[in-house]
Amino acid sequence: MNYKPRILEPLVRRVAGEYPVVTITGPRQSGKTTLCRALFPDKPYVNLEPLDEREYARNDPRGFLAQYPDGAVIDEIQNAPDLTSYIQVTVDENPEHGRFIVTGSQHFGLTQAVSQSLAGRTAMVHLLPLSFEELTSFDTEVDDLWQVVFQGAFPAIHGRRLNARRWLDNYLLTYVERDLRQISAIGDLAAFANFMALAAGRCAQEINLSAIGGDAGVSHNTVRAWISVLEASFVIFRLPAWHGNLRKQLLKTPKLHFLDSGLACRLLGIRSADELRHHPLRGAIFESWVAAEIFKHRTHRGETGGMFHFRTTRGPEVDIVIRRGLSLIGCEVKSATTMDGSFLRPLHRLEELLDGALTKRLIFGGGQRQERSQVECIPWRELHRSSWL
Protein backbone atom coordinates (compact mmCIF):
# COMPACT_ATOMS: atom_id res chain seq x y z
CA MET A 1 0.00 0.00 0.00
CA ASN A 2 1.49 3.33 -1.06
CA TYR A 3 1.74 5.87 1.72
CA LYS A 4 -0.85 8.62 1.58
CA PRO A 5 -0.03 11.86 3.43
CA ARG A 6 -2.06 12.51 6.56
CA ILE A 7 -3.38 15.86 7.77
CA LEU A 8 -1.70 15.23 11.13
CA GLU A 9 1.79 15.40 9.54
CA PRO A 10 2.49 19.15 10.04
CA LEU A 11 1.51 18.91 13.70
CA VAL A 12 3.76 15.89 14.28
CA ARG A 13 6.71 17.59 12.56
CA ARG A 14 6.17 20.74 14.57
CA VAL A 15 6.03 19.10 17.99
CA ALA A 16 8.99 16.85 17.09
CA GLY A 17 10.97 20.09 16.78
CA GLU A 18 9.82 21.25 20.21
CA TYR A 19 9.85 18.17 22.50
CA PRO A 20 12.30 15.29 23.03
CA VAL A 21 9.41 12.77 22.89
CA VAL A 22 6.32 12.69 20.68
CA THR A 23 3.51 10.36 21.73
CA ILE A 24 1.04 9.37 19.01
CA THR A 25 -2.11 7.60 20.12
CA GLY A 26 -5.17 6.44 18.27
CA PRO A 27 -7.26 3.35 17.56
CA ARG A 28 -5.69 0.22 16.19
CA GLN A 29 -5.21 0.30 12.42
CA SER A 30 -5.55 4.09 12.15
CA GLY A 31 -2.15 4.33 10.45
CA LYS A 32 0.19 5.28 13.32
CA THR A 33 3.01 2.94 12.29
CA THR A 34 2.82 3.94 8.64
CA LEU A 35 2.84 7.63 9.55
CA CYS A 36 5.85 7.31 11.88
CA ARG A 37 7.93 5.29 9.45
CA ALA A 38 7.16 7.74 6.66
CA LEU A 39 7.99 10.86 8.69
CA PHE A 40 11.04 9.46 10.50
CA PRO A 41 12.64 7.02 8.02
CA ASP A 42 16.13 7.43 9.48
CA LYS A 43 15.15 6.44 13.00
CA PRO A 44 15.43 2.83 14.15
CA TYR A 45 12.03 1.18 14.46
CA VAL A 46 10.95 -1.32 17.10
CA ASN A 47 7.52 -2.82 17.74
CA LEU A 48 6.61 -4.03 21.24
CA GLU A 49 3.86 -6.35 20.02
CA PRO A 50 6.21 -9.35 19.51
CA LEU A 51 6.71 -11.14 22.80
CA ASP A 52 10.51 -11.13 22.68
CA GLU A 53 10.78 -7.37 22.18
CA ARG A 54 8.09 -6.77 24.80
CA GLU A 55 9.86 -8.93 27.40
CA TYR A 56 13.21 -7.29 26.67
CA ALA A 57 11.72 -3.81 27.18
CA ARG A 58 9.97 -4.92 30.36
CA ASN A 59 12.77 -6.92 31.97
CA ASP A 60 15.81 -4.89 30.94
CA PRO A 61 14.61 -1.37 30.03
CA ARG A 62 18.07 0.18 30.36
CA GLY A 63 19.60 -2.40 28.05
CA PHE A 64 16.71 -2.05 25.64
CA LEU A 65 17.10 1.75 25.37
CA ALA A 66 20.92 1.50 25.18
CA GLN A 67 20.42 0.06 21.68
CA TYR A 68 19.05 3.44 20.58
CA PRO A 69 21.37 6.18 21.86
CA ASP A 70 20.02 8.63 19.28
CA GLY A 71 16.40 7.65 19.84
CA ALA A 72 13.93 5.48 17.94
CA VAL A 73 10.34 4.96 16.90
CA ILE A 74 8.85 2.67 19.55
CA ASP A 75 5.52 1.18 18.51
CA GLU A 76 2.77 -0.04 20.88
CA ILE A 77 4.55 1.21 23.98
CA GLN A 78 1.52 0.45 26.16
CA ASN A 79 2.84 -3.13 26.17
CA ALA A 80 5.75 -1.94 28.34
CA PRO A 81 4.36 1.14 30.13
CA ASP A 82 7.20 1.27 32.69
CA LEU A 83 9.58 1.98 29.81
CA THR A 84 8.40 5.60 29.85
CA SER A 85 10.16 6.12 33.20
CA TYR A 86 13.48 5.10 31.67
CA ILE A 87 12.86 7.23 28.59
CA GLN A 88 12.39 10.14 31.00
CA VAL A 89 15.87 9.56 32.42
CA THR A 90 17.56 9.34 29.03
CA VAL A 91 15.87 12.44 27.59
CA ASP A 92 16.68 14.40 30.74
CA GLU A 93 20.34 13.55 30.09
CA ASN A 94 20.02 14.45 26.41
CA PRO A 95 16.89 16.51 25.67
CA GLU A 96 17.43 16.68 21.91
CA HIS A 97 14.14 17.42 20.20
CA GLY A 98 12.37 14.50 18.52
CA ARG A 99 14.60 11.76 19.95
CA PHE A 100 11.82 9.28 20.64
CA ILE A 101 8.57 8.82 18.77
CA VAL A 102 6.29 6.47 20.69
CA THR A 103 2.89 5.17 19.69
CA GLY A 104 0.10 3.39 21.50
CA SER A 105 -3.36 2.13 20.64
CA GLN A 106 -4.61 1.74 24.19
CA HIS A 107 -5.15 5.27 25.35
CA PHE A 108 -6.37 4.14 28.78
CA GLY A 109 -3.03 2.52 29.67
CA LEU A 110 -0.74 4.85 27.82
CA THR A 111 -2.04 8.17 29.12
CA GLN A 112 -1.42 7.29 32.75
CA ALA A 113 2.14 6.14 32.09
CA VAL A 114 2.95 9.21 30.00
CA SER A 115 1.39 11.68 32.43
CA GLN A 116 3.34 10.21 35.32
CA SER A 117 6.73 9.89 33.61
CA LEU A 118 6.95 12.22 30.63
CA ALA A 119 5.01 15.28 31.74
CA GLY A 120 6.63 18.33 30.18
CA ARG A 121 8.86 16.15 27.99
CA THR A 122 6.37 14.90 25.42
CA ALA A 123 3.67 16.21 23.11
CA MET A 124 0.69 13.89 22.76
CA VAL A 125 -1.20 13.87 19.47
CA HIS A 126 -4.00 11.63 18.23
CA LEU A 127 -4.22 9.93 14.83
CA LEU A 128 -7.80 8.94 14.06
CA PRO A 129 -9.18 7.00 11.05
CA LEU A 130 -9.14 8.78 7.71
CA SER A 131 -11.15 11.95 7.32
CA PHE A 132 -13.21 12.31 4.16
CA GLU A 133 -10.65 14.85 2.93
CA GLU A 134 -7.92 12.20 3.26
CA LEU A 135 -10.15 9.52 1.78
CA THR A 136 -10.42 11.42 -1.49
CA SER A 137 -6.73 10.66 -2.19
CA PHE A 138 -7.45 6.90 -2.22
CA ASP A 139 -8.66 4.95 -5.23
CA THR A 140 -12.04 4.35 -3.66
CA GLU A 141 -15.68 5.33 -4.16
CA VAL A 142 -16.36 8.75 -2.63
CA ASP A 143 -19.39 9.94 -4.65
CA ASP A 144 -22.03 7.82 -2.91
CA LEU A 145 -22.74 9.14 0.59
CA TRP A 146 -24.05 5.87 1.96
CA GLN A 147 -21.16 3.85 0.55
CA VAL A 148 -18.73 6.23 2.26
CA VAL A 149 -20.59 6.00 5.57
CA PHE A 150 -21.04 2.22 5.34
CA GLN A 151 -17.39 1.44 4.63
CA GLY A 152 -16.01 3.66 7.35
CA ALA A 153 -12.56 5.19 7.25
CA PHE A 154 -9.90 2.73 8.39
CA PRO A 155 -6.95 3.03 5.97
CA ALA A 156 -6.55 -0.71 5.29
CA ILE A 157 -10.07 -1.02 3.86
CA HIS A 158 -9.41 1.67 1.27
CA GLY A 159 -5.67 1.28 0.68
CA ARG A 160 -5.96 -2.48 0.07
CA ARG A 161 -9.50 -2.37 -1.32
CA LEU A 162 -10.75 -4.92 1.21
CA ASN A 163 -14.30 -6.03 1.90
CA ALA A 164 -15.41 -3.67 4.67
CA ARG A 165 -17.76 -6.12 6.39
CA ARG A 166 -15.14 -8.87 6.60
CA TRP A 167 -12.37 -6.53 7.73
CA LEU A 168 -14.54 -4.93 10.42
CA ASP A 169 -15.63 -8.37 11.67
CA ASN A 170 -11.98 -9.24 12.21
CA TYR A 171 -11.31 -5.85 13.76
CA LEU A 172 -14.10 -6.30 16.30
CA LEU A 173 -12.89 -9.80 17.10
CA THR A 174 -9.38 -8.50 17.72
CA TYR A 175 -10.61 -5.59 19.82
CA VAL A 176 -12.93 -7.66 22.00
CA GLU A 177 -10.95 -10.88 22.25
CA ARG A 178 -7.45 -9.44 22.60
CA ASP A 179 -7.42 -5.83 23.71
CA LEU A 180 -10.27 -5.98 26.20
CA ARG A 181 -8.94 -9.11 27.90
CA GLN A 182 -6.17 -6.85 29.20
CA ILE A 183 -8.67 -4.64 31.05
CA SER A 184 -9.75 -5.87 34.48
CA ALA A 185 -12.98 -3.83 34.28
CA ILE A 186 -14.33 -6.13 31.56
CA GLY A 187 -15.35 -9.39 33.17
CA ASP A 188 -17.97 -10.69 30.71
CA LEU A 189 -16.81 -10.19 27.12
CA ALA A 190 -20.09 -11.48 25.65
CA ALA A 191 -22.06 -8.94 27.67
CA PHE A 192 -19.65 -6.23 26.59
CA ALA A 193 -20.05 -7.17 22.91
CA ASN A 194 -23.82 -6.92 23.33
CA PHE A 195 -23.37 -3.55 25.04
CA MET A 196 -21.33 -2.28 22.07
CA ALA A 197 -24.18 -3.15 19.70
CA LEU A 198 -26.66 -1.38 21.98
CA ALA A 199 -24.37 1.68 22.04
CA ALA A 200 -24.29 1.70 18.23
CA GLY A 201 -28.07 1.76 18.25
CA ARG A 202 -27.91 4.91 20.34
CA CYS A 203 -25.35 6.86 18.34
CA ALA A 204 -26.20 10.57 18.06
CA GLN A 205 -28.43 10.23 21.13
CA GLU A 206 -28.03 11.53 24.65
CA ILE A 207 -26.57 8.87 26.92
CA ASN A 208 -29.09 7.25 29.28
CA LEU A 209 -27.05 4.97 31.53
CA SER A 210 -30.05 3.32 33.15
CA ALA A 211 -31.79 2.57 29.83
CA ILE A 212 -28.67 1.04 28.27
CA GLY A 213 -27.96 -0.90 31.45
CA GLY A 214 -31.51 -2.26 31.50
CA ASP A 215 -31.23 -3.46 27.90
CA ALA A 216 -27.72 -4.88 28.45
CA GLY A 217 -28.57 -6.52 31.77
CA VAL A 218 -25.89 -4.66 33.74
CA SER A 219 -25.89 -1.81 36.24
CA HIS A 220 -25.70 1.83 35.21
CA ASN A 221 -22.30 2.02 36.96
CA THR A 222 -21.04 -0.79 34.72
CA VAL A 223 -22.37 1.07 31.67
CA ARG A 224 -20.56 4.19 32.83
CA ALA A 225 -17.28 2.26 33.13
CA TRP A 226 -17.75 0.53 29.77
CA ILE A 227 -18.48 3.80 27.99
CA SER A 228 -15.22 5.15 29.42
CA VAL A 229 -13.41 2.11 28.00
CA LEU A 230 -14.90 2.67 24.54
CA GLU A 231 -13.97 6.33 24.65
CA ALA A 232 -10.44 5.72 25.92
CA SER A 233 -9.85 3.18 23.15
CA PHE A 234 -11.11 5.57 20.45
CA VAL A 235 -14.28 3.69 19.54
CA ILE A 236 -16.64 6.47 20.61
CA PHE A 237 -16.47 10.06 21.73
CA ARG A 238 -18.89 12.09 23.81
CA LEU A 239 -20.24 15.53 22.99
CA PRO A 240 -21.02 17.36 26.24
CA ALA A 241 -24.03 19.64 26.42
CA TRP A 242 -23.39 23.32 25.81
CA HIS A 243 -24.19 25.31 28.94
CA GLY A 244 -22.68 28.69 28.25
CA ASN A 245 -24.23 32.13 28.55
CA LEU A 246 -27.88 31.21 27.93
CA ARG A 247 -31.06 32.49 29.48
CA LYS A 248 -32.71 29.09 29.58
CA GLN A 249 -32.06 25.96 31.61
CA LEU A 250 -30.21 23.32 29.56
CA LEU A 251 -30.08 19.56 29.75
CA LYS A 252 -26.51 18.56 30.54
CA THR A 253 -26.41 14.98 29.24
CA PRO A 254 -23.66 14.23 26.67
CA LYS A 255 -24.36 12.71 23.28
CA LEU A 256 -22.68 9.52 22.12
CA HIS A 257 -20.97 9.36 18.71
CA PHE A 258 -18.93 6.64 17.02
CA LEU A 259 -15.58 7.67 15.59
CA ASP A 260 -15.99 5.28 12.68
CA SER A 261 -19.37 4.96 10.99
CA GLY A 262 -18.41 1.64 9.40
CA LEU A 263 -17.86 0.13 12.82
CA ALA A 264 -21.26 1.41 13.98
CA CYS A 265 -22.89 -0.12 10.90
CA ARG A 266 -21.19 -3.45 11.51
CA LEU A 267 -22.33 -3.52 15.14
CA LEU A 268 -25.89 -2.83 13.96
CA GLY A 269 -25.74 -5.70 11.47
CA ILE A 270 -26.10 -3.45 8.41
CA ARG A 271 -24.80 -5.45 5.46
CA SER A 272 -24.55 -2.98 2.59
CA ALA A 273 -24.68 0.67 1.63
CA ASP A 274 -28.11 0.12 0.09
CA GLU A 275 -29.39 -1.39 3.34
CA LEU A 276 -28.03 1.61 5.21
CA ARG A 277 -29.74 3.96 2.74
CA HIS A 278 -33.13 2.63 3.88
CA HIS A 279 -32.27 1.91 7.52
CA PRO A 280 -34.39 3.63 10.22
CA LEU A 281 -31.18 4.82 11.94
CA ARG A 282 -29.61 6.29 8.81
CA GLY A 283 -30.17 9.87 10.04
CA ALA A 284 -28.49 9.17 13.39
CA ILE A 285 -25.58 7.36 11.72
CA PHE A 286 -25.16 10.27 9.29
CA GLU A 287 -25.15 12.76 12.18
CA SER A 288 -22.51 10.66 13.93
CA TRP A 289 -20.45 10.57 10.70
CA VAL A 290 -20.59 14.38 10.43
CA ALA A 291 -19.69 14.83 14.09
CA ALA A 292 -16.75 12.46 13.66
CA GLU A 293 -15.56 14.32 10.55
CA ILE A 294 -15.56 17.61 12.45
CA PHE A 295 -13.86 15.91 15.42
CA LYS A 296 -11.11 14.58 13.10
CA HIS A 297 -10.77 17.96 11.37
CA ARG A 298 -10.03 19.56 14.73
CA THR A 299 -8.01 16.75 16.31
CA HIS A 300 -5.64 16.32 13.35
CA ARG A 301 -4.86 20.03 13.55
CA GLY A 302 -4.12 19.92 17.26
CA GLU A 303 -7.43 21.27 18.55
CA THR A 304 -8.97 19.41 21.48
CA GLY A 305 -12.25 20.01 23.25
CA GLY A 306 -14.62 22.81 22.32
CA MET A 307 -17.31 20.60 20.70
CA PHE A 308 -20.78 20.35 22.23
CA HIS A 309 -24.42 19.71 21.49
CA PHE A 310 -27.28 21.98 22.56
CA ARG A 311 -30.76 21.31 23.92
CA THR A 312 -33.00 23.13 26.35
CA THR A 313 -35.57 21.36 28.50
CA ARG A 314 -38.48 22.36 26.25
CA GLY A 315 -36.79 24.17 23.41
CA PRO A 316 -34.69 23.69 20.30
CA GLU A 317 -31.93 21.16 19.78
CA VAL A 318 -28.80 21.88 17.74
CA ASP A 319 -26.69 18.85 16.84
CA ILE A 320 -23.20 20.38 17.12
CA VAL A 321 -21.95 23.58 18.74
CA ILE A 322 -18.31 24.61 18.44
CA ARG A 323 -16.68 27.21 20.62
CA ARG A 324 -14.47 29.48 18.54
CA GLY A 325 -12.94 32.21 20.71
CA LEU A 326 -15.76 34.51 21.78
CA SER A 327 -18.10 33.22 19.10
CA LEU A 328 -19.78 29.92 18.30
CA ILE A 329 -20.50 27.73 15.30
CA GLY A 330 -23.92 26.08 15.38
CA CYS A 331 -24.33 23.11 13.06
CA GLU A 332 -27.45 21.16 12.22
CA VAL A 333 -27.18 17.80 10.41
CA LYS A 334 -29.80 16.36 8.05
CA SER A 335 -29.41 13.33 5.80
CA ALA A 336 -32.09 14.57 3.40
CA THR A 337 -30.97 15.43 -0.11
CA THR A 338 -33.53 18.23 -0.45
CA MET A 339 -33.47 21.34 1.70
CA ASP A 340 -36.44 22.28 3.88
CA GLY A 341 -36.86 25.58 5.67
CA SER A 342 -37.76 23.79 8.92
CA PHE A 343 -34.18 22.49 9.11
CA LEU A 344 -32.98 26.01 9.89
CA ARG A 345 -35.31 26.87 12.78
CA PRO A 346 -33.18 25.42 15.62
CA LEU A 347 -30.19 27.50 14.47
CA HIS A 348 -32.22 30.70 14.43
CA ARG A 349 -33.65 29.90 17.85
CA LEU A 350 -30.17 29.27 19.25
CA GLU A 351 -29.03 32.61 17.86
CA GLU A 352 -31.89 34.30 19.72
CA LEU A 353 -30.87 32.66 22.99
CA LEU A 354 -27.18 33.50 22.72
CA ASP A 355 -25.55 36.75 23.66
CA GLY A 356 -22.51 36.20 21.41
CA ALA A 357 -22.11 35.84 17.65
CA LEU A 358 -23.20 32.59 15.99
CA THR A 359 -22.04 31.21 12.66
CA LYS A 360 -24.91 29.05 11.40
CA ARG A 361 -24.27 25.97 9.26
CA LEU A 362 -26.32 23.04 8.01
CA ILE A 363 -24.71 19.83 6.70
CA PHE A 364 -27.09 17.85 4.51
CA GLY A 365 -27.13 14.86 2.19
CA GLY A 366 -27.58 16.84 -1.02
CA GLY A 367 -25.06 17.96 -3.58
CA GLN A 368 -25.38 21.73 -4.00
CA ARG A 369 -24.16 24.42 -1.62
CA GLN A 370 -26.76 27.05 -0.70
CA GLU A 371 -27.14 30.15 1.44
CA ARG A 372 -30.51 30.45 3.18
CA SER A 373 -31.48 33.02 5.82
CA GLN A 374 -27.82 33.59 6.72
CA VAL A 375 -27.24 29.86 7.12
CA GLU A 376 -24.47 28.12 5.15
CA CYS A 377 -26.06 24.96 3.74
CA ILE A 378 -23.11 22.66 3.01
CA PRO A 379 -23.33 19.39 1.05
CA TRP A 380 -21.80 16.41 2.85
CA ARG A 381 -18.93 16.04 0.38
CA GLU A 382 -17.85 19.67 0.95
CA LEU A 383 -17.79 19.41 4.73
CA HIS A 384 -13.99 19.56 4.86
CA ARG A 385 -13.82 22.75 2.79
CA SER A 386 -15.08 24.80 5.76
CA SER A 387 -12.95 25.53 8.79
CA TRP A 388 -14.18 23.98 12.04
CA LEU A 389 -11.45 25.43 14.24
Model pLDDT, residue 221: 93
Q: Is 337 a member of any domain?
A: yes
Q: What are the DSSP calls for 189-216, one per residue?
A: HHHHHHHHHHHHTTTTEE--HHHHHHHH
Whether residue 194 is found in the same domain as residue 91:
no
Q: Do 365 and 334 touch, CB atoms closer than 8 A? A: yes
State yes or no: pLDDT of 48 exceeds 70: yes
Kindly tell me if the per-residue pLDDT of 78 is higher than 90.
no
Identify the pLDDT of residue 103.
Answer: 94
320 and 335 belong to one structural domain: yes
97 shares its domain with 191: no
Lowest mean pLDDT among 112-116, 196-200, 247-251: 247-251
161 and 230 co-located in one domain = yes
Whether 185 is in a domain gets the answer: yes
User: How far, in Å, CA of 6 to CA of 13, rounded?
Assistant: 12
Query: Looking at the predicted structure, is the pLDDT value of residue 215 above 90?
Result: yes
pLDDT at 107 (0 to 100): 59
Residue 32 has pLDDT above 90, yes or no: yes
385 vs 353, higher pLDDT = 385
pLDDT at 252: 82
Which of these ranges, 100-109, 161-170, 176-185, 358-367, has the smallest mean pLDDT? 176-185
Residue 185 pLDDT greater than 80, yes or no: no
Task: Please name the helix (run of DSSP H) or strand (run of DSSP E) that holds residue 376, with its range, or none.
Answer: strand 375-379
121 and 214 co-located in one domain? no
Average pLDDT over residues 279-295: 98
- Helix boundaries (H) for 254-369: 261-267, 273-277, 282-299, 345-353
Mean pLDDT for the chain overall: 92
Q: How far apart are CA 223 and CA 229, in angstroms?
A: 10
pLDDT over 90 for what percent of the chain? 76
- pLDDT-based confidence at 97, cuts 50/70/90? very high
Whether 213 shows a pLDDT value over 70: the answer reads: yes
Domain extent at residue 285: 132-385
pLDDT on residue 344: 95
Domain assignment present for 293: yes
Q: Please check whether residues 377 and 308 belong to one and the same domain.
A: yes
Q: Please state the domain count of the chain.
A: 2
Q: What is the CATH number of the domain that holds 116?
A: 3.40.50.300
Q: What is the pLDDT of residue 180?
A: 75
Residue 4 within any structural domain of the chain:
no
Alpha helix (H) residue ranges in 220-344: 220-232, 261-267, 273-277, 282-299
- Which tops the pLDDT comparison, 91 or 139? 91
Residue 248 above 60 pLDDT?
Answer: no
Q: Look at residue 268 and tell me if it is in a domain.
A: yes
Burial class (CB in 10 A: 0-12, 13-18, 19+), 197: middle
Does 143 share its domain with 228?
yes
Residue 245 above 70 pLDDT?
A: no
Q: Rounded to an integer, what distance in angstroms lies between the CA atom of residue 209 and that of residue 98?
A: 43
Query: Is 219's pLDDT higher than 90?
Result: yes
Cα gap 365→386, rounded to integer Å: 16
- Residue ending a domain, among 74, 105, 126, is 126
Task: Report pLDDT for 87.
Answer: 96
Mark whether 122 and 167 lie in a shared domain: no
As a whole number of angstroms, the longest Cα–Cα distance in the chain is 67
Q: Is residue 3 part of a domain?
A: no
Is the pLDDT at 142 greater than 60? The verdict is: yes
Domain match, 122 and 147 both: no
pLDDT for residue 253 is more than 80: yes
At residue 21 the predicted structure's pLDDT band, cuts being 50, 70 and 90, is: very high
Report the percentage of the chain scoring pLDDT > 70. 94
Using the predicted structure, report yes or no on whether residue 273 has a pLDDT greater than 90: yes
Q: Is the pLDDT of residue 267 over 60?
A: yes
Domain end point (choices 87, 110, 126): 126
Of the given ranges (157-171, 266-280, 295-309, 315-329), which has the lowest mean pLDDT?
315-329
Q: If you average pLDDT over residues 106-135, what whole number do you get?
A: 84
pLDDT, position 135: 95
User: Is 196 in the same domain as 234?
Assistant: yes
Structure confidence at residue 109 (pLDDT): 60
114 and 162, same domain (yes or no): no
Residue 118, burial from CB neighbour count under 10 angstroms (0-12, 13-18, 19+): buried
Closest CA to 253 of 310, 183, 338: 310
Q: Are residues 370 and 260 in the same domain?
A: yes
Q: Which residue has the higher pLDDT, 225 or 178?
A: 225
pLDDT at 108 over 60: no
- Does residue 238 belong to any structural domain of this protein? yes
Kindly tell me if the per-residue pLDDT of 247 is higher than 70: no
pLDDT of residue 188: 84
1: in domain:
no
pLDDT at 265 over 90: yes
Please report which confidence band the pLDDT of residue 179 belongs to, taking 50, 70 and 90 as the band edges. confident
Final residue of a structural domain among 72, 103, 126: 126
Contacts of 287 (CB under 8 A, 6+ apart): 203, 204, 257, 319, 333, 335
- Per-residue pLDDT tens digits for 304-344: 999 999 988 777 799 999 998 888 999 999 999 999 999 99
Average pLDDT of span 138-159: 93
